[in-house]
Amino acid sequence: MFMLFAASGLSLASIAAVYQSWRRQTGPMLYVGIGVWLLSSIAWSLSVGWEFGVLYALCLPGLLVWPFIAMNQSHMAVPLQIPQPRKLDFSPRTSIQHALHYIVVLLLLLVFSVVASLAICALLPMDITGQLATCMVISPIIWGLAVYHYLATSKKIKTVGGYLVATAVSVAILMAMPI
Amino acid sequence: MNKATKQSALNAHSWVGVFLSVLLFLVCLSGTIAVFHLEFERWEQPHIPEFESVEDGAVEKAMDSFLTKHPEETDHLFVVLPTSGIPRLVVENDHAAYFADEQGNLLEKENVAFTQMLVDLHLYLNLPHSWGMILVSALGAIICTLIITGVIAHKRIAKDAFKLRRGGNGQQSQIDLHNRFGLWASPFHLVIAITGTYFGLAGIVLVLVAQLNYGGDRDAVINQVFTPDPVIEAQEGKPAIGKAIAQMETIAPENPLIFVTVHEVNKPEQFIEIYAQVPGRMIYGEAYRFDTAGNYLGTAGYDDGAWGKQLLWAVYRLHFGDFAGIPSKVLYFVLGIMLTMLCVSGMEVWLSKKAHPVLATRLWYCTVWGSVSALAFTAIADMFFSGSLIAVFWGLMVLNVALTVAIKRLTKPVWLIISGISVLLLLFIYSAVNGEHALSVASLQLNIPMLIYVVWSILRGNTLLKRETLMSDFQKENQTTTHNIDGNGDKSASVSTETQSPMA
């Protein structure tokens, strides 16, 4: 029970230190905050086991930060001007463009991310369970990054072509190096 | 990071957030509520007796009574034990489930239609399971995109880390809330996104690996990752469930039992498997195997197997927060609300940047608060109606949209109040239907939070309604002034004729 209280206290102290560093705009307090957060991760791990401990240490700042945010609230004046609502663009051209984005984001990049993740994992020196578990962790991240890349780039057709080539290469790797 | 990189990240963030907002919101909302899916199962039938342990022979007695009532063919028999997270005894096959008391007397049929509909909404968006699950998994990857682009696009991530600027036209407050939720709870969001994607991608990965490397044999892949069925001599006779359970006191006395499964019922390969939670571990549980006569065969090796197997076996508890009882569920619920509010505030920021297009704004709030109302009415329907609750929920959602298009008064505060009144109505009807059982632990653990929601939503809705009326009066006054100044009746270009009130 003592470790549980110590871990909770350290989590709170780490946020307080980061807040102080933010208030004073000083670097050293930030490093103190990070250090205390690392200590809180260890304390959580010692009290409830590392699997839960790391999760609590990562998630708790999301809750503990709110008193500090509340302390730092400010109020703005109500503006006198109310802008005119802007019209939304439902033109056929824009609608088709968005529909194509949906297809690329939800279908093409799904296939790419799964195949590319499997190909990367096939190259890793692990047993099949390790390879598949790694694939499950990295595929959403690869998918997410690919969606970002596709939507951010102005050369969409070239990018789609690139992903198709990468998918084909990944399939070739999987056939050459079976999982 | 240069300005162009931040702007392109913001563009990607906006497209994904806006064009998948409704789906993201529904999955996040239903997932946040579904954290308490076991509690909802108890809530649906609050009169069922609850206990921590059963008398000797109760499990076998309950199963015998159940098999007399349901002699139909089945591949599996299940016994859910009171140490599973629901303090009740349930016996079931692949077709029906019944409660039993602690002596093993069979009670009534399990009816958890609302919980099933809620979980179905979260896992499949109520679509056909095969591609519904893939779509929901895609949303997990989309959350990854939103986290990455959100962090890159934030121009003042360190400078604004603790800021919350309220008031004004509400836009800055929404931006601040969105950014604070997004930054500080991002580790949780990433965990939910990755584990959520797993559920849909697992099937695709399995098919792909089987096709490419195992000649289409999916079982070959499954057997490599998870433990295959034990190879045993031909079995016959009634499974000795009671004997198997009794042995758990010596095999794993510290591990709370979750459920018992009899596999391949009445077939030569029949065997018993008992799942038990492993304290201090994130894995779903360890499986202890017995032959039909109740002789111990060994474990499936989830607790001490390869790390990859343990990781895959930990995804369920990691995603649903079902690992440390109510405290972990409350943590997941609160962080889940933050993720849901992230969807809502993100869309509100986008709408406010468009100066709140009238119909789009109303439709968004109809989706957000109308879905809470639709869920409440679906739960009410469940008490009187045995048909499809999915049809009820989506029928109500369509009705909400139609009403919102037709009635201009259905703005955010009105929908918020409607959602509160709907939940209040649910609580009244639930209490009337369940009588004294509405005051049992199984009921109160959800009814009290629901009552808190009712009070909050009605108070908040009223505050927003007053603000909306004030803004409307201010607008009219402004218009009159402009008329007087212009003298020709033209409306001022800076004032909207039908402006949605900016709401904080």
Say how many C-beta atoms besides its own lie within 10 A of residue B199's C-beta.
19
Q: Could you identify the residue written with the tokens 């990607």? A: B12
Tell me, yes or no, whether A62 and A122 share the same domain: no
In a domain, A115, yes or no: yes
- Selected residues 15-54 of chain A with any CB under 8 Å from a CB in chain B: 18-19, 22-23, 48-49, 51-52
Answer with the one of A71, A100, A119 that is the final residue of a domain: A71
B286-290 and B257-263 strand pairing: unpaired
pLDDT in tens, A78-134: 777 777 788 888 899 999 999 999 999 999 999 999 999 999 999 999 999 999 999
Tell me, yes or no, whether A34 and A100 share the same domain: no
Tell me, yes or no, whether A7 and A51 share the same domain: yes
In a domain, A129, yes or no: yes
d(C-alpha A42, C-alpha A7), whole Å = 8
Q: How many helices (H) and strands (E) does chain B have?
A: 16, 9
Contact call for residues B302 and B286 (beta carbons, < 8 A): yes
Inter-CA distances, B101 with B56, B62, B96, B423, B438, Å: 12, 8, 17, 31, 20
B144·A143 Cβ contact <8 A: yes
Helix (H) or strand (E) holding A75: strand A73-76
Query: B488: which residues sit within 8 A by CB, 6+ positions away?
Result: none
In a domain, A83, yes or no: no
Report the residue of chain B nearest A137, measured CA to CA. B194
Domain borders along chain B are 1-45+111-227+322-335, 52-107+229-300, 354-504
pLDDT in tens, A12-44: 999 999 999 999 888 889 999 999 999 999 999
d(C-alpha B246, C-alpha B53), whole Å = 12
pLDDT in tens, B455-503: 999 999 999 999 888 877 777 777 676 666 555 544 444 444 344 443 3
Tell me, yes or no, whether A56 and A104 share the same domain: no
DSSP assignment of B195-256: HHHHHHHHHHHHHHHHHHHSTT-HHHHHHHHSPPPP--PPP-S---HHHHHHHHHHH-TTSP
Answer with the one of A17, A39, A71 that is the final residue of a domain: A71
Chain B positions in Cβ-Cβ contact with residue A18 (cut-off 8 Å): 161
Query: B202: which residues sit within 8 A by CB, 6+ positions away?
Result: A136
pLDDT at residue B237, as a whole number: 87
Chain A positions in Cβ-Cβ contact with residue B500 (cut-off 8 Å): 85
pLDDT at residue B126, as a whole number: 96
pLDDT at residue B482, as a whole number: 62
pTM for this model (two decimals): 0.92
Average pLDDT over residues A47-68: 95
Query: B51: which residues sit within 8 A by CB, 6+ positions away?
Result: B82, B87, B88, B89, B101, B102
In a domain, A64, yes or no: yes
CB nearest B312 (choices: A58, A83, A136): A136
d(C-alpha A116, C-alpha A174), whole Å = 9
Instruction: Show the domain range for A108.
Output: 92-176
CB nearest A49 (choices: B15, B280, B496): B280
Chain A positions in Cβ-Cβ contact with residue B282 (cut-off 8 Å): 51-52, 55
In a domain, A87, yes or no: no
Chain B positions in Cβ-Cβ contact with residue A144 (cut-off 8 Å): 141-145, 147-148, 193
Tell me, yes or no, whether A101 and A159 share the same domain: yes
CA of B128 vs chain A CAs: smallest distance (Å): 17
In a domain, A97, yes or no: yes
In a domain, A79, yes or no: no
CB nearest A178 (choices: B185, B213, B324): B213
- Pick the closest to residue B112 from B308, B383, B496 (CA basis): B383
Tell me, yes or no, whether A101 and A171 share the same domain: yes
Classify B155 as helix, strand or coil. coil
Q: Could you identify the residue written with the tokens 């218009």? A: B479
- ipTM greater than cut 0.90: yes
Q: A49-53, B12-16, B22-26, B231-235: which range is least confident on average? A: B231-235
Query: In total, how many domains does chain A have?
Result: 2
In a domain, A37, yes or no: yes
A103 touching chain B per CB within 8 A: no
Report the residue of chain B nearest A78, measured CA to CA. B168
Q: A27-36, B99-108, B269-278, B472-481: which range is least confident on average? A: B472-481
pLDDT in tens, B400-436: 999 999 999 999 999 999 999 999 999 999 999 999 9
Contact call for residues B397 and B117 (beta carbons, < 8 A): no
